[in-house]
């Protein structure tokens, strides 16, 4: 079995993240770029199954980390290789800068077809874009089933079982292959990486594909062209201002101060 895990290169959530007010896309020049934590959790699901299948002497399982992003994203993929992925693929091209969700899904679908995956695992949403639509778009393009926002996942040689929790119900889903599964942060913590694994990851294969390489053949028309959606305008959010403090102990003026405050903010 071949499992592809989608990964993303994102600004560290502890850093100062903001949009470029000219382009309307996230500014990736400042701060550290790291693997999205949800990508690490999705990889952990794949690695657990591979480890269990190996212990039982079942069909060999190959885990491939796949990302679309700038050349610097190779460092992120090396970390996923250190976690245990067997190989990694980075689709990188200047033409893909600022790609929207639809174009991202098309490019990833082309890469998944080329890799010949049985199962695709992904985070339910990234910490930078947060659209939560790419896994479903990818499944539609691949003609595969989608199990969305899974809080637990069980993989076997025959198919996948997942549990999704909505506002009104707990839903149990299952599918054969091919299948796309998006996971939430409830699937479990990613494993820690040892120094020996970091060193071993340097010898694992990491391929880099350009858009031209990926568009050879039938996918050329689907992957060519600009984004189908663009950011029209962006404004920086105003800094928080200190609130108005009313001393409730001052009975003579507190009520009047509160009334004046509320009256000044009443819509005209």
What is the per-residue pLDDT for 113?
A: 93
- Better pLDDT: 13 or 165: 165
List alpha helices for the chain, DSSP H: 37-55, 73-83, 101-115, 134-142, 195-201, 211-214, 220-223, 254-264
Strand-pair partners of 175? 160
Residue 128 has pLDDT above 70, yes or no: yes
Mean pLDDT of all residues belonging to the chain: 84
pTM: 0.79
Residue 224 has pLDDT above 60, yes or no: no
Per-residue pLDDT of 28-73, as tens digits, reads: 666 667 778 899 999 999 999 999 987 777 788 999 999 998 888 8
**The residue to which tokens 């250190």 are assigned:** 82
pLDDT band at 105 (very low <50, low <70, confident <90, very high): very high
pLDDT band at 119 (very low <50, low <70, confident <90, very high): very high
Domains and CATH numbers, the chain: 2-223 (3.40.50.620)
Residue 219 has pLDDT above 70, yes or no: no
- Better pLDDT: 196 or 56: 196
pLDDT band at 18 (very low <50, low <70, confident <90, very high): low
Radius of gyration of the chain (CA): 23
- Average pLDDT (180-203) is 92
Residue 91 has pLDDT above 90, yes or no: yes
């Amino acid at each position: 079995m071949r499992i592809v895990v989608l990964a993303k290169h994102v600004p560290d959530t502890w850093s100062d993240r903001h949009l470029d007010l000219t382009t309307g896309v996230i500014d990736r020049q400042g701060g550290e770029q790291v693997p999205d934590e949800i990508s690490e959790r999705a990889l952990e699901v794949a690695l657990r199954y591979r480890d269990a299948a190996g212990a039982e002497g079942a069909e060999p399982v190959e885990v491939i980390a796949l990302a679309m992003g700038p050349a610097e994203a190779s460092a992120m993929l090396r970390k996923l290789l250190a976690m245990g992925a067997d190989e990694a693929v980075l689709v990188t091209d200047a033409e893909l800068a600022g790609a929207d969700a639809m174009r991202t899904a098309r490019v990833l679908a082309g890469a998944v077809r080329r890799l010949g995956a049985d199962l695709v695992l992904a985070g339910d949403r990234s910490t930078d874009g947060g659209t939560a639509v790419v896994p479903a778009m990818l499944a539609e393009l691949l003609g595969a089933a989608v199990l969305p926002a899974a809080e637990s996942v069980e993989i076997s040689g025959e198919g996948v079982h997942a549990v999704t929790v909505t506002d009104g119900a707990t839903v149990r889903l299952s599918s054969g292959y091919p299948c796309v599964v998006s996971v939430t942060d409830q699937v479990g913590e990613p494993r820690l990486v040892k120094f020996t694994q970091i060193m071993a990851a340097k010898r694992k294969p990491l391929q880099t594909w350009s858009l031209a390489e990926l568009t050879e053949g039938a996918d050329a028309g689907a992957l060519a062209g600009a984004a189908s959606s663009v950011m029209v305008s962006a404004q920086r959010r105003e800094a928080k201002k200190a609130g108005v403090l009313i001393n409730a102990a001052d009975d003579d003026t507190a009520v009047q101060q509160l009334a004046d405050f509320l009256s000044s903010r009443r819509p005209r």
